[in-house]
């Protein structure tokens, strides 16, 4: 496997084998790299080009294009990795951000932002195999007729995956399959942990596919959130919908006919969907009309309190309720807990609460994680020797990797300190290092990795402190 680099300030006359020798454009990387297993790291910045996928991959020639928004592998600073269809951020000049031409197979794309194309942000000219988009944003378009992810011309292909991504606007946000003809995915299409917001037509439209699986998606504000349409007599093998949230849609789920097999279960379809289901005769026994009760933004004395958009509120009835075959991690790559404690939707509920009864010394309160989860803090630092420490206590039935303090700084290696003390006592986690000073902050994550399924497994954190010893 060979690693290549693309970034702003690069030169297509370079060899592309290091960040200092990076190429300038995505298309040059695509047309220059020979067959094989390759990774292309793409640095932060705006790429004003129509990226045309033109090399025919195979099982042994898989290309991974990985955006680096933290800057950890590329420029050391970080920022959005954006591919746009516009030269001036006002008027669109290109039909696509990414376009799969004659040979669109064996490609994976991570951490990209797409916007402002005229036809579709991502489009295909022929059937594809083993293509994936992960942690991507399908953003604004210049027309209500523009699609987000458009695979609408083809009725065959294998392993098309879109996961951990966000779609905003568009006529249709994700289309899979031709409107006419027969055939279908032999191995299936997958959409997991995605957020679909406010299309003008469909969020997801599936046509003539043999298998389509979706897990833990969130649909908000669509005329039709999900529709399967069968233009031929060839029925699909499976079109499964599990663990999803449908909120404020005119139609939540629509089937072409009762004879087409769609399995729907563990979905929240609350009362404000005008039509919950069309031609889906029986809802799964675990589906509910309960409202998801998402977390709300709040302002206190002029200060915006932390808000994870679209996360479940502490009062939600579908938080930690149990799911059917949920992805192992959520849209933020936080591991879901085990044994019926997973949450519906793309964001796993993190039960972090203030605890006034379990405290260290004379403190007023500690931070309690009732199960596997993580809380982040942004701490201001400078390029001097810095010590960060926190006290942690775990209950006796806690299982798995012990609690951790993880320190992240864009452009730098992740630093992890794991609790090595006894359960039932307060143990100190400490780390001394010198930040790069490029960003001015570090992110401190306090993590519970509990895998126990019953009994006691709470974790408490207290007295998080920063000592800038160089000042």
Query: What do you get for the CA distance between the two ends of the chain, in Å?
Result: 45
Residues of the chain with confidence (pLDDT) below 70: 56-60, 103-104, 155, 179-187, 209-210, 230-237, 258-260, 304, 306, 469-471
Cα 430 from chain centroid (whole Å): 31
CATH code at position 430? 2.60.120.260
Residues 273 and 361 occupy one common structural domain: no
- Residue 132 near residue 163 (C-beta atoms within 8 A): yes
State the DSSP code for 10.
-
Domain final residue pick, 262, 278, 294: 278
Residues 260 and 398 occupy one common structural domain: no
Q: How far is CA 217 from CA 204, 243, 254, 342, in A?
A: 11, 7, 16, 14
Q: What is the pLDDT of residue 372?
A: 85
Q: Is residue 9 part of a domain?
A: yes
Give the position of tokens 């046509």: 207
**Which of 97, 148, 105, 145 has the alpha carbon at shortest distance from 126?**
105
Q: What is the pLDDT of residue 337?
A: 82
Q: Summarize the chain as % helix, strand, coil (round to 5).
A: 0, 40, 60
Return the SS3 of 471. coil
Q: What is the pLDDT of residue 77?
A: 85
Q: What is the pLDDT of residue 57?
A: 63
Residues 112 and 22 occupy one common structural domain: yes
- Residue 42 near residue 67 (C-beta atoms within 8 A): yes
Residues 273 and 359 occupy one common structural domain: no
Domain final residue pick, 231, 254, 278: 278
Domain final residue pick, 278, 305, 334: 278
Q: What is the pLDDT of residue 189?
A: 83
Residues 118 and 266 occupy one common structural domain: yes
Residues 252 and 362 occupy one common structural domain: no
Q: What is the pLDDT of residue 60?
A: 63
Q: Is residue 293 part of a domain?
A: no
Q: Is residue 295 part of a domain?
A: no
H or E segment and range at residue 26? helix 26-32
Number of structural domains the chain divides into: 2
Q: What is the pLDDT of residue 104?
A: 67
Beta-sheet strand order (sheet of 189-192): 2-6, 38-42, 63-67, 107-110, 128-134, 157-163, 189-192, 211-215, 238-242, 263-265
Distance CA 193, CA 189 (A): 14
Cα 83 from chain centroid (whole Å): 18
Residues 260 and 363 occupy one common structural domain: no
Q: What is the pLDDT of residue 235?
A: 54
Q: What is the pLDDT of residue 391?
A: 97
Instruction: Domain of residue 228: give its range.
Output: 2-278
Residues comprising the chain, all counted = 471
Distance CA 116, CA 91 (A): 8
CATH code at position 252? 2.160.20.10
Q: What is the pLDDT of residue 438?
A: 76
* Segment 379-403, tens digit of pLDDT: 988 899 999 999 999 999 999 999 9
* Segment 247-292, tens digit of pLDDT: 999 999 998 776 667 889 999 999 878 899 888 877 789 999 989 9
Residues 380 and 242 occupy one common structural domain: no
**Which of 345, 212, 172 has the alpha carbon at shortest distance from 270?**
345
Q: Is residue 80 part of a domain?
A: yes
Residues 47 and 151 occupy one common structural domain: yes
Q: Is residue 157 part of a domain?
A: yes
Residues 75 and 171 occupy one common structural domain: yes
């Amino acid at each position: 496997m060979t690693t290549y680099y693309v970034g702003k300030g690069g030169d297509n006359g370079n060899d592309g084998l290091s960040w200092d020798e990076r190429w300038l454009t995505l298309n040059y990387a695509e047309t220059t790299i020979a067959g094989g297993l390759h990774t292309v790291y793409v640095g932060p910045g705006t790429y004003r080009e129509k990226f045309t996928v033109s090399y025919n991959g195979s099982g042994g020639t898989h290309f991974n294009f990985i955006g680096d928004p933290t800057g950890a592998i590329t420029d050391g600073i970080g920022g959005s990795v954006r591919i746009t269809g516009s030269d001036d951020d006002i008027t669109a000049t290109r039909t696509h951000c990414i376009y799969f031409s004659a040979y669109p197979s064996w490609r994976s794309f991570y951490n990209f932002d797409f916007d402002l194309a005229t036809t579709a942000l991502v489009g295909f000219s022929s059937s594809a195999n083993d293509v994936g988009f992960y942690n991507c944003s399908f953003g604004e378009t210049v027309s209500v007729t523009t699609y987000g992810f458009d695979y609408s011309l083809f009725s065959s292909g294998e392993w098309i995956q879109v996961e951990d991504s966000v779609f905003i606007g568009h006529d249709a946000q994700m289309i899979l399959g031709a409107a006419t003809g027969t055939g279908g995915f032999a191995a299936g299409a997958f959409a997991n942990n995605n957020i679909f917001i406010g299309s003008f037509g469909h969020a997801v439209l599936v046509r003539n596919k043999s298998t389509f699986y979706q897990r833990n998606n969130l649909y908000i504000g669509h005329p039709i959130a999900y529709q399967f349409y069968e233009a031929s007599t060839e029925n699909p093998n499976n079109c499964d919908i599990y663990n999803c949230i449908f909120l404020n849609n005119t139609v939540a789920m629509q089937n072409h006919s009762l004879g087409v097999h769609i399995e729907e279960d563990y979905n929240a379809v609350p009362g404000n969907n005008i039509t919950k289901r069309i031609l889906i005769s029986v809802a799964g026994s675990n589906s509910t009309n309960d409202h998801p009760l998402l977390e709300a933004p709040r302002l206190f004395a002029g200060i915006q309190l932390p808000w994870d958009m679209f996360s479940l509120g502490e009062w939600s009835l579908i938080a930690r309720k149990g799911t059917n075959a949920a992805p192992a991690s959520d849209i933020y790559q936080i591991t879901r807990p085990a044994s019926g404690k997973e949450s519906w939707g793309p964001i796993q509920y993190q039960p972090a609460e203030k605890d006034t009864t379990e405290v260290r010394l004379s403190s007023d309160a500690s931070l309690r994680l009732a199960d596997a989860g993580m809380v982040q803090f942004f701490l201001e630092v400078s390029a001097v020797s810095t010590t960060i420490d926190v006290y942690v206590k775990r209950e006796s039935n806690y299982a798995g990797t012990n609690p951790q303090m993880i320190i992240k700084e864009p452009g730098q290696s992740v630093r992890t300190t794991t609790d090595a003390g006894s359960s039932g006592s307060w143990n100190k986690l400490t780390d001394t290092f010198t930040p790069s000073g490029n960003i001015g902050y570090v992110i401190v994550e306090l993590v519970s990795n509990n895998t126990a399924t019953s009994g006691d497994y709470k974790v408490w954190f207290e007295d998080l402190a920063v000592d800038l010893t160089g000042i």
